[in-house]
Amino acid sequence: MHGGDAMSRLVLVGLRVGLGVIFLWATVTKVPDMAAFAQDVANYRILSPVLVPYAAAAVVGIEIVTGIALVTGVVARPAALLAAALLVAFTGFVAQALLRGIDLRCGCFGGDERASWWTIGRDLLMLAAAIAVATAGERHPRRNPPLAV
């Protein structure tokens, strides 16, 4: 294996594990108060009130599964694609709220962090990492199929 390949593979593994840890950390901050997270979701004013608690619980579950898959490297590519889809949705939700002038907590990592353009920038960075991990298997199908550690 060439040095450059080893380095790029190491970077991709770092991105995958880092992204997984961030997703798992996001769930750790939400699980202690799921009711508050559901309220944060409701404040985006996108979903019907009846769907809000289900969506909040589902998002946390999907984040757990995605985080574990990314950290362990099992089904890493589908997990990276799912992470990218989630991040696109999160970015869209925050952007529409900011454009509508709605002042709200982003609900990203629990606490009182307010949604801002910085939140969108951070989501886009994570989205870039997710896309890099998801496409890596396609660029090197034989050498680097699951991006396992």
Site residues for other proteins per CB under 8 A: 31-39, 41-45, 48-50, 52-54, 56-66, 69, 75, 77-79, 81-82, 85, 101-105, 112, 114
Q: Which is nearer to other proteins, 129 or 134 (CB)?
A: 134
Alpha-carbon 67 to chain mean position? 8
Least Å distance, CB 94 to other proteins, is 14
CB of 26 to other proteins, least distance (A): 12
Query: Both tokens of residue 97?
Result: 């709220």
Shorter beta-carbon distance to other proteins: residue 41 or 126: 41
Task: Report whether 9 contacts 144 (CB < 8 A).
Answer: yes
Tell me the closest approach of the beta carbon of residue 145 to other proteins, in angstroms: 12
Q: How far is CA 147 from CA 79, 87, 102, in A?
A: 12, 21, 40
Cβ distance to other proteins smaller for residue 9 or 46:
46
What's the min distance (Å) between Cβ of 14 and other proteins? 22
Structure tokens at 75: 């089904």
Closest listed residue to residue 130, CA positions, set 147, 142, 145, 113 = 147
